[in-house]
Each structure stands twice: as C-alpha cells, then as structure tokens.
Amino acid sequence: MEEEARENDSPPSQSEPPCNDLKQTSPDLPPPDEPFAMEEVVIINKKAVDKLTEGLLAHYLPDLHNSKLALQELTQNQVVLLDTLDQEVTKFRECNSLLDLNSLFTEAKVYRNKLVDIRKEMMMLHEKTTKLKKRALKLQQQKQKEALEKEQQREKELERERQLIAKPARRT
C-alpha cells in the first residue's frame, strides 16, 4: 500500500486521463458488497494537494501569526509582572527588616534604660561606700584619739602614782 501511495504522489503520466474524482475503486478488488474485504485505492493529484495545503495555510496562518504575537505579548507582560512581583517581594522584605530594626531599637531602648538604672545604682553605691569610708576613717581616728587619751591618762595616773609613792628622804 505504501508503494501505491508513492506511485500516486508522482505527477500523472500522459497515458492516465486527468482524474476529477479523488477516490476510485480498483477493478481487481472484491465488490463493495463485502465490507470487511474492501480496500480503496486513493489517487491523489499533487497539484490538488499543493493547492489544498496553500488554502489551508492561507486560512489558518494569519490566525496562527496573530496568536503568536498575542503569546509574545503575554510573555512580555508576564516578564514585567514577574519583575514587579520581585520588586514587591523585595519591598516586603525591607518592611520586615524595618520591623526587625524597630524591635531592635525598642530592645536597645530597654537595655539603655537598664544601664541607666544600673549606673544610678552604682553611683548611689559609690556615694554610700564613700560615706562609709569617711565614717570608718572618723571612727578609726576617734578610736586612735581615745586610745591616745587613754594612754595619756594612764601615763598620768602612773606618774601620779609614782609621785604618791613615798620616797625615802636622803640623809645628808
């Protein structure tokens, strides 16, 4: 059957009359009463195929070209939309990073307040320790003074006792 199709693709020879019918039944085939054994041989004119092809292409090619242009435009619009979407995603990320920055600033403010409180407490403790050191120094000086006075008092008492102790008179 393939050989018959190839023979039919070749231009009609001069011995063959031009055929107006596209289908013809071969005389050596069984009669059409038996459908399961029936085969049709189709003779196709190359010029007719070319004209049908040209007509089909002429009919559908403008629509296909318009569809191609529409698809290209849609593809370009899609690229623009993807770029815009990417920019929007970037903006949202920046907003999220700004929110993170705001939380960091808030946290920094809290820690700054804690540091200020610690500094105040340290200054208060420094003042207290300075006062305690002054008081300790005064107490130490007072104790030293009392000890010195006590020592002087004791020396005076010892001196007085020495003076009160009877001295034997010297004989001259």
**Both structure tokens of 16:** 């063959």
What sign results for the dihedral spanned by CA atoms 123, 126, 131, 134?
negative
Q: What is the pLDDT of residues 38-95, one digit of tens each?
A: 577 778 889 999 999 999 999 999 999 999 999 999 999 999 999 999 999 999 888 8
Q: What is the model's pTM? A: 0.39
Q: Which residue has the tokens 């040209």?
A: 54
> Which letter does DSSP use for residue 28 in this model?
T
The Cα–Cα gap between 112 and 120 comes to: 12
